[in-house]
Amino acid sequence: MRLVLLGPPGAGKGTQAERICASHELVHLSTGDLLRAAVAAGSELGLRAKAAMDAGDLVSDEIVLALVRERLEQPDAAKGFLLDGFPRNTAQAEALDADLGDRGVQRVISMRLDDEEIMRRLLARGRKDDQEIVIRNRLEVYREETAPLIAYYEGKDLLSSIDALGTMDEVFERIQSVLADESAGAGA
Ligand code: B4P
């Protein structure tokens, strides 16, 4: 399966991505994790990404696409992958479509969560970019840059939307039910 997990910051993309990948034996590609690893390693790419991440802005498409391409070219990704936090804007989505060609994305799961719960979860986590003012900017960036991807994938008939409020187990059950339908459709 070739999947995309879409949703606002703090919707639980990373949390659910780990469970989905373990259950379906998919490569987990999180651009947030790849970028944080580059920052921690102090690479040139990491230094360029750091200021945008600290401010809650998107890192440049050039950097993100280089990271994604490098990972998707590895042989294990040919068996299936889940993209977590990527694409984040229309330019990234179009670049992904062009790269994948006729082995394109099969299902996009959009996680819905209200701002109040997002703020509560992220303030409780307390990562460096989880301060109220930065979270507000991340939400703004999400609305402007990422939310249009809901219509983009709806237009391609690839979107399934789920409620991300509830326990981690409840949310996972909702995702599993979408993926069961997807597998049944593929086998039919
Ligand atoms: P990401 O790392 O993608 O982070 P995120 O959107 O904040 O989090 P996620 O939705 O994965 O939430 P999580 O499971 O951790 O992005 C960080 C930054 O990297 C961006 O701001 C940007 O600068 C940069 N970036 C990343 N990708 C990019 C791209 N493609 N292009 C450009 N820039 C990019 O969950 C959050 C918290 O909620 C956790 O503490 C978790 O334990 C908790 N939680 C999860 N599920 C829960 C539940 N059901 N109930 C209660 N709590 C829950």
Question: Token pair of 102, please?
Answer: 């006729």
The CA-atom distances, in angstroms, between 61 and each of 24, 29, 91 are 29, 16, 8
Q: Which CATH superfamily is domain 2-27+80-179 in?
A: P-loop containing nucleotide triphosphate hydrolases (3.40.50.300)
Determine the average pLDDT of the residues in 93-112: 97
Question: Token pair of 151, please?
Answer: 């219509």
Burial class (CB in 10 A: 0-12, 13-18, 19+), 88: buried
Q: Looking at the predicted structure, is the pLDDT value of residue 188 above 90?
A: no
Burial class (CB in 10 A: 0-12, 13-18, 19+), 73: exposed
121 CB under 6 A from ligand 1?
Answer: yes
Determine the distance separating the centroid of ligand 1 and the alpha carbon of 187, expressed in angstroms: 32
What phi and psi values does residue 160 have, to the nearest 5 degrees?
Answer: -125, 130
86 CB under 6 A from ligand 1?
Answer: yes
Judged by DSSP in three states, 165 sits in coil
DSSP 71-98: HHTSGGGGG-EEEES---SHHHHHHHHH
Q: What is the pLDDT of residues 41-100, one digit of tens each?
A: 999 999 999 999 999 999 999 999 999 999 999 999 999 999 999 999 999 999 999 999
Q: Read off the pTM.
A: 0.95
Binned at pLDDT 50, 70 and 90, residue 133 comes out as very high
| Nearest CA, atom 23, ligand 1 | 53
Give residue 187's pLDDT. 53
71 conformational bin, left if phi > 0, alpha if psi -120 to 50, beta if neither: alpha
